[in-house]
Amino acid sequence: MTEAAIAEISVTDNYEGGDLNEERSLASDAWRAMRRNPMFWVAMTLITVFVLMAIWPSLFTSTDPTNAVLAKSRERPGVDAWFGRDIQGYDIYARCIYGARASILVGVLCTVGTVLIGGTIGVMAGYQGGWADSLLSRIGDVFFAIPLLLGAIIFLVSLPDFFNDNYFLIVLKVVLALVILGWPSLARLTRSSVIQVKPNDYVQAARALGASPNRIVRSHVLPNSLAPVIVVATINLGAYIALEATLSFLGIGLQPPAISWGIDISAALVGLRTTPHMLFFPSLFLSLAVLAFIMLGDVARDALDPKNR
């Protein structure tokens, strides 16, 4: 009720603003809204730190994470090793830093992969409608019905072993598994977003002008369908990080000598009661990384949603 009253007022508000000359696109309005939100800065700080860790781990530590000092195995946090050492004598701090790379890589690549594949299929299904839509949706349903984690496990287990040599190939393997199983949810989202945008008059106006379907999708449908996709993709990034850790924890994702938080967590379980520091720090890093992306997604949603209308 009151929103309607405020809307009554805001109609006259929008075209004034403070800076009359400025062209305020919805994107810049969203950016402005995000900047005002303290959670945004918290999330961005965390994300920047983790990304830096992934790209230049040497910025954070000069210790070699593959250097096993067995003599000091299970050492508690101290001056020598800030987070202590794990069973094999690795410096936990160094491993936490180096482990960021796997997580960020997997998270980013999975997100990009699912958005590209799922997004394209979703747009096709949503825009075309009819039998193309039915066909693509049913295909998506089939993949959707396979439980993500279980499916990934089976997929990874059945892949031939020669993949395991190259770090990049290992990561790619995991990404592939997750993308193949994860694209339907984004496809569905994109499809429903496109279906909401399609009946809008401006799309009809473009058709009336004789615009090609390509142009309509590119200039009219896509930009207006993106908002929910952006929000979900960001949150999914966090989820993919967690999934990578899970798969590595189970020994199916990344495996030693690759470094991953999941592997460290798995190895640390043994000493849960006696040397909790081995478990604590990788878990902390994992949680913070996931949290950062989820927070960013939340902020994005707040910024994009109400303004969108």
Partner 1 sequence: MPEVILSAQELVKYYPIKKGVMRRTVGQVKAVDGVSFDLHKGETLGIVGESGCGKSTLGRLLMRLEEPTAGKVIFEGADWSGASGREMRRMRRDIQIVFQDPYTSLNPRMTVGDIIGEPFEIHKDVVPKGGRRARVQELLDLVGLNPEHIHRYPHQFSGGQRQRIGIARGIALNPKVLVCDEPVSALDVSVQAQVVNLMEKLQDELGLAYVFIAHDLSVVRHISDRVGVMYLGRLAELGEEDEVYSRPTHPYTQALLSAVPVPDPTLRGKRDQIVLVGDVPSPANPPSGCRFHTRCWKAQEICSQEEPQLELRSDGAGEHLSACHFAEARTIVETVDVSDLEPDSRFTTTDFSDLDDLGAGLGAAGGGEDLDSSAAESEAERSDALHADSDTAPQDGTRLVDEQPGDQRPPNG
Partner 2 sequence: MTTQDTKPPRSEKTSGSQYTYTPEDGLLLEVDDLFVEFHTRDGVATAINGVSFKLHQGESLAILGESGSGKSVTAQAVMGILDMPPAVIPNGHIRYCGQDLLSMPDEQRRLTRGPEVSMIFQDALSSLNPVFPVGWQIAEMFRTHRGMNKSDALEQAIRLMERVSIPAARERVKAYPHQFSGGMRQRIMIAMAIALDPAVLIADEPTTALDVTVQAQIMALLQELQEERQMGLILITHDLGVVADVADRIAVMYAGRLVETAMVHELYAAPAHPYTRGLLESIPRLDQKGQTLAAIGGLPPNLMRIPPGCPFNPRCRMAQDVCRTDRPELREVVPGRFSACHFAEEVINA
For partner 1, give the closer residue by CB, 115 or 216.
216
Closest by CA to 226, choosing from 193, 253, 255, is 193
For partner 1, give the closer residue by CB, 36 or 218.
218
Q: Which of 31, 41, 56, 202 binds partner 1 (CB under 8 A)?
A: 202
Minimum distance, C-beta of residue 17 to partner 2, in the bound complex (Å): 9
Hey, which residues between 55 and 74 contact partner 1 (CB under 8 A)?
none
Taking a C-beta distance cutoff of 8 angstroms, is the pair 90, 67 a contact?
Answer: yes
For partner 1, give the closer residue by CB, 113 or 228.
228
- The amino acid that residue 179 corresponds to is V
Q: Which residues bind partner 2 (CB under 8 A)?
A: 1-2, 4-6, 8-9, 11-13, 16
* Residue 208, contacted partner among partner 1, partner 2, none, CB below 5-8 A by kind: partner 1
Taking a C-beta distance cutoff of 8 angstroms, is the pair 123, 153 a contact?
Answer: no
Give the integer Cα–Cα distance in Å for 199 and 127. 10
Q: Which of 201, 214, 257, 273 binds partner 1 (CB under 8 A)?
A: 201
Give the integer Cα–Cα distance in Å for 198 and 221. 7
The reply to whether omega before 257 is within 30° of 0 (cis) is yes
Residue 85: helix, strand or coil by DSSP? strand
For partner 2, give the closer residue by CB, 17 or 256.
17
Looking at the DSSP bridge assignments, the partners of residue 85 are 91
How many CB atoms lie under 10 A from the CB of residue 277?
Answer: 18
Hey, which residues between 15 and 44 contact partner 1 (CB under 8 A)?
15-21, 23-27
Looking at the DSSP bridge assignments, the partners of residue 89 are none
Q: Which of 210, 214, 273, 274 binds partner 1 (CB under 8 A)?
A: 210
For partner 2, give the closer residue by CB, 1 or 142.
1
Q: Which of 81, 206, 242, 303 binds partner 1 (CB under 8 A)?
A: 206
Give the integer Cα–Cα distance in Å for 57 and 99. 9
Minimum distance, C-beta of residue 35 to partner 1, in the bound complex (Å): 19
Give the integer Cα–Cα distance in Å for 114 and 116. 5
Q: Which of 9, 71, 142, 208 binds partner 1 (CB under 8 A)?
A: 208
Q: Is 220 in the site for partner 1 (CB under 8 A)?
A: yes
For partner 2, give the closer residue by CB, 16 or 23.
16
